[in-house]
Chain A
Amino acid sequence: EVQLVESGGGLVQPGGSLRLSCAASGFSFSSYWMTWVRQAPGKGLEWVGDIKQDGSEKKYVDSVKGRFTISRDNAKNSLYLQMNSLRAEDTAVYYCVGGGGHDYWGRGTLVTVSS
């Protein structure tokens, strides 16, 4: 059974940092680009960024460039999202997504940026 389990969400003050993790199992993690997608409360989905199989390429939506960093550890089947200089508009559920056709989704972890 494929599982993607996100963790690390929580309440953080504006300007603060948070690191999200995603533990993958049940599929060949190292074979696929991995993606982070977020959804603000009551809003639609937003592609945040992704990372190539070997971590050599990373792409980000403009709104997070320079603040967020995606990384992975294929030995641990894990994906990470380091979020710095957080803003209120980063408040969202963050989903970890994997598979060649964005097949597999985690349940998400909620990040709330508020003072």
Chain B
Amino acid sequence: QTVVTQEPSLTVSPGGTVTLTCASSTGAVTSGYYPNWFQQKPGQAPRALIYSTTNKHSWTPARFSGSLLGGKAALTLSGVQPEDEADYYCLLYYGGAQLWVFGGGTKLTVL
């Protein structure tokens, strides 16, 4: 069974920088996994932030960026704002089985 692992929780100070990561139990994450990132605030539907590793949607704030880092997909928030406090989920594509798998999510606290 394929498992996608994220940090359960992270804390960052306002104005700071934080990197969330997304690892695959099958090995290094590459661009071929088409990493997606989503933000979800309490009581709301998820909102798409990043697709295909680095690509931003038109509504994605500039302070969010996606990359590959040390064999994982990564989401970096630079100049964190209080409104960035939320749960963040990554999503990876497994081409062999043609399936997508979400990570368990990271709860980001801005404190």
Does the CB pair B48–A105 fall under 8 Å? yes
A 49-63 binary contact with B (CB < 8 Å = 1; else 0) = 010000001010100
- Looking at A18-26, A39-47, A66-74, the stretch in contact with chain B turns out to be A39-47
Contact of B102 among A45, A57, A105 (CB under 8 A): A45
* Beta-carbon nearest neighbor of B58 in chain A: A103
Which of these, A45, A59, A101, contacts B46 with CB under 8 Å? A45
Q: Are A45 and B89 in contact (CB under 8 A)?
A: yes
By Cβ-Cβ distance, the 10 closest A-B pairs, closest first, are: A101-B51, A47-B100, A44-B105, A45-B102, A105-B45, A44-B104, A103-B48, A59-B98, A45-B89, A107-B45
Interface size class of A (residues with CB under 8 A): 20 to 34
Known contacts A45-B38, A50-B100, A61-B99; A101/B89 CB under 8 A: no
User: Which single residue of chain B is at the shortest CB-CB distance from A96?
Assistant: B45
Residue of A99, A102, A104 with most chain B CB atoms under a 10 A cut-off: A102
Contacts of A57 in B (CB 8 A): 98
**Are the C-beta atoms of B102 and A44 separated by less than 8 Å?**
yes
How big is chain B's contact interface, by range? Answer: 20 to 34
Let me know if A100 and B98 touch, CB within 8 A: no
Cβ contacts under 8 Å, B97 to chain A: 59
Interface-central residue, B40, B100, B105, by most chain A CB under 10 Å: B100
B101 interface hit (Cβ, 8 Å): yes
Closest to B104 in A: A44
B49: nearest chain-A partner, CB-CB: A101
B36 contacts A59, CB within 8 Å? Answer: no
16 further A-B contacts with Cβ under 8 Å, apart from A57-B98, A105-B48, are: A44-B102, A44-B104, A44-B105, A45-B38, A45-B102, A47-B91, A47-B100, A47-B101, A50-B100, A61-B99, A99-B48, A100-B51, A101-B36, A101-B52, A105-B45, A105-B47
Instruction: Give chain A interface residues in 85-105, CB to chain B under 8 Å.
Output: 95, 99-105
Cα distance A102–B36 when bound, in Å? Answer: 8
